[in-house]
Copies of this chain bind each other. A is one copy, B any other.
Amino acid sequence: MSDNVANFPQSDTYDEAEGTRGAESATPSDVGGVAGARLKSFIERIERLEQEKAALMEDIKEVYAEAKGTGFDTKTMRKIISLRKMDREKRRESEELLELYKSAIGMY
């Protein structure tokens, strides 16, 4: 952050009492007042999503394991998946290029 003074924003509508906050053990939700609450909320949302992501990665590992148990070589599989992904991306990029061309010649 070069000069950003705003990484802990003052709530603009900061006129409410912050009284009724309960225990909340270890999260400093009032150091910044309502902003602290918002921050906490954002962080928890992210952590929740990252948990889900981790679970998904776990699932993927399990599929690989199962495939391996069936006799497939995971390294080969990874290579295939990677290649397919490249195909898709390449196709996508080609399509974007096509769109560009079309718009360039007025074909909307």
Scan A85-108; emit 1 where CB is below 8 A from any B CB, else 0: 011011001101100110111100
User: A14: shortest Cβ distance to chain B, in Å?
Assistant: 12
A1/B75 in contact, CB under 8 A = yes
B63/A52 in contact, CB under 8 A = no
A83/B104 in contact, CB under 8 A = no
A26/B84 in contact, CB under 8 A = yes
Query: Can you tell how many copies of this chain the complex includes?
Result: 4
Name the one of B6, B43, B63, B93 contacting A42, with C-beta atoms under 8 angstroms.
Answer: B63
User: A56: shortest Cβ distance to chain B, in Å?
Assistant: 5
**A80 CA to B101 CA, complexed, in Å:** 11
| Given A5-B104, A83-B93, 17 extra CB contacts under 8 A | A1-B103, A38-B70, A42-B67, A42-B72, A43-B81, A45-B63, A46-B63, A46-B64, A49-B56, A49-B60, A56-B56, A73-B100, A76-B101, A79-B96, A80-B97, A86-B90, A90-B90
